[in-house]
Amino acid sequence: HPKTRDIKRMMNERLTPPVLDILKNAGNTAAELEYSAYVVGGFVRDLFLSRSTEDVDIVIEGDGIAFAREFAGRMKARVHYYKKFGTAVITFADGSKIDVASARLEYYQFPAALPTVEMSSIKLDLFRRDFTINTLAVCLNPDKFGLLVDFFSAQRDIKEKTIRVLHSLSFVEDPTRIFRAVRFEQRFGFTIGKMTEGLIKNAVKMEFFRRLSGHRVFGELRQILEEDDPVPAIERLAEFNLLVSLHEALKIDKKTVAALHATREVVSWYDLLFVDKPYMKWMVYLMVLMRGMAQQTTEDLCDRLELPPRHREMADAGRREADTFLHWIQRNPGIKNSELYQRLFGFRVEQMLYVMSVTDSDTVKKHISRYILTLQHVAPLIKGKDLNEIGIAPGPLYSEILRKILYARLDEKVRTREDELEFAMRYANDPDGWWKRR
C-alpha cells in the first residue's frame, strides 16, 4: 500500500492561484468523466523542494485524450493529440503547457526478470519512471484533492537528498537515465545512492551506451549543458567515464574544467544583459568541450551525437572560424572599431561567447563585449533618401557610401547628420580619394 498524505496546505502555500485553479479544474473535469486525475513527477518533486516549475504533468486513469479534449474546451486552450501514445499537450493562451498521459494497463511492458504483479494503473505509470524522486503523484479529483500518493518512498529520498532508481534493470531499460541521474544530482545538490551508483558503473563497464542512438544521448547531454551551472555535472560525467565512453576525444582535463567555468561566467553575463534573447547556451559549452579537436575528430563526434546539419556546421566550421578570429585578434589587440566590426559581422552570439570563454585576454573579452553591447547596433543617421536629396545619383555607390559612413561612425570620425552628409558629398566626388583610404 502506498503512503498517502494530505498536502492541500502545502499546495495552497506554494502554488500560485492560477496553477491551483488549473489543477482543481482538471480534477473536476476528470471526475465528471469518471476518471481519476493525478499531477505527477517533476511538478510534485519541485513542490516538495520549494522550487518553481513550469511543466505540469497530468496522468489520467482512463482515456487521457478524451480528458484533454474536454478540459481544453473548458479552459479555452489549444490541444494536440498523440493518438498512438494516448498523450496530449494542452497549451494555454499565456503559452504555458500541460502534458497529459493515459495510464492504462495494456501499455506497459515489464522488464523480463521481474515478476508480474497487479498494480493500479497510476502505480504502473510511476513505476516506469526514472528515479524515486520523480514518482510522487497528487490526486486532483474533488473528493481526494491534494492527496499525495507515494508508492516508492519518494518522500524519504527527497528528505535524504538521494537519487535512486526504482529497480536494478533501470539502466538496462534506458541508459540515458544515467545522464539524468547526474543532472538531477547536481541540480538539486543531491547524491546518487550507493546501489544506483554501482548500477551506473556497471552500465558504463558493459558499454550500454553503444546501442543508444546519438539522438537520445545528445538530447540528454544538451539538457545538462542547458542547466544553470552544467560544470559540476560535466565533471561528474567525466568521473563516471561517461564522456570518454561517448567519444575518446571527450577527455576532461584541468584546462577544460577551467574553460568551462569561464564559460559559465560569460554565459551568465550574457543572460543577465539579454534576459529574453534566445540562443543555444548548450552550443557554447559544446564548442568549449570540442576546443582543439581536429576536424576529423569533430566530425566523428558530431556523427556519434547525430547533430543536425545546422548545429554541426556551428560546432565544426563555426568553431574554427571563431578560433581564427581569436588567433587574429590576439595579434592585433589595438584594432579600430570598424575593423572589429567587419571581422565579427555575421558571427553568431554562440561563437562570440565561445571566444570570450576560451581566451585569457581581458582585452579580447572587452573587444567582443563592446561589439555585442554597442558596435553591432551602430547605423548611419542618413539613408539613401538623404543621398538622393543632396544630388548623388542612385546606384551601387549608395551602399558603398553608407557602409563607409558606418565605419566612420564606428571610429567616431563622424558625429552629426551634417558630418555624415559632408562625408557623403566628399566621398561621392572622389571615391578613390583620401576619405576612402582613411
Sites of contact with ligand ATP (CB under 6 A): 41-42, 55, 57, 129-130, 134, 174, 176-177
Closest CA to 279 of 377, 209, 229, 351: 351
Nearer residue to ligand ATP within complex by CB, 134 or 357: 134
Q: Kindly state the smallest distance separating residue 410's Cβ from ligand ATP, in Å.
A: 42
Kindly state the smallest distance separating residue 126's Cβ from ligand ATP, in Å. Answer: 8
CB of 144 to ligand ATP, least distance (A): 21
All three cell numbers of 350, joined, read 554562440
Least separation in angstroms between residue 212's CB and ligand ATP is 11
Q: Which is nearer to ligand ATP, 28 or 223 (CB)?
A: 223
Q: How far is the CB of 272 from ligand ATP (least distance, A)?
A: 22
- Indicate the SS3 state at residue 386: helix
Provide the β-strand partners of residue 192: 163
Q: Which residue has the cell 480534477?
A: 27
Quick one: 109 or 296, whose CB is closer to ligand ATP?
109
CB 58 within 8 A of CB 98: yes
Helix H or strand E encompassing 315? none
CA distance 68 to 305: 35
Q: In sequence order, what are the residues at sequence separation of 6 or more whose Cβ sits closer than 8 angstroms to the Cβ of residue 379?
A: 406, 409
Which is nearer to ligand ATP, 129 or 404 (by Cβ)? 129
Q: Select 140 or 364, whichever has its Cβ closest to ligand ATP.
A: 140
* Cell numbers placing 345: 559581422
User: Which C-beta is closer to ligand ATP: that of 167 or that of 336?
Assistant: 167
For residue 143, give the nearest of 335, 14, 6, 314 by alpha carbon.
6
Please name the residue that has the C-alpha cell 546606384.
395
* In the complex, minimum distance from the CB of residue 47 to ligand ATP, in angstroms, rounded to a whole number: 12
Q: Which is nearer to ligand ATP, 87 or 256 (CB)?
A: 87
Q: Cα 275 vs. chain centroid, distance in angstroms? A: 14
List residues bridging with 163 in a β-sheet. Answer: 192
- The size of the chain, in residues, is 438
Residue closer to ligand ATP, measured from CB, 129 or 311: 129
Which residue lies nearer to ligand ATP by CB, 57 or 150?
Answer: 57
To ligand ATP, the closest distance from the beta carbon of 402 in angstroms equals 47
DSSP string, 289-326: HTTT--HHHHHHHHHHTT--HHHHHIIIIIHHHHHHHH
Q: Identify which of residues 151 and 341 has a Cβ nearer to ligand ATP in the complex.
A: 151
Written as nine digits, the cell of 348 is: 553568431
Closest approach of ligand ATP to the CB of residue 170, in Å: 8
Helices (H), 33-142: 42-48, 64-75, 121-127
Q: How many of the other CB atoms lie within 10 Å of CB of 185?
A: 22
Q: How far apart are CA 226 and CA 229, in angstroms?
A: 8
Strands 56-61 and 87-91: unpaired
Give me the least distance between CB of 423 and ligand ATP, in Å please: 54
Q: Of 61 and 227, which CB lies nearer to ligand ATP in the complex structure?
A: 227
Task: Point out the residue whose Cβ comes nearest to ligand ATP.
Answer: 42
Q: Which of 57, 7, 24, 37 is nearest to 122 (CA)?
A: 37
Name the minimum Å distance from CB 220 to ligand ATP.
8
The C-alpha cell of 27 is what?
480534477
Euclidean distance between CA atoms 29 and 40, whole angstroms: 17
Cell 543617421 identifies what position?
381
Alpha carbon 187 to chain centroid, angstroms: 14
Minimum CB–partner distance for residue 276 and ligand ATP (Å): 20
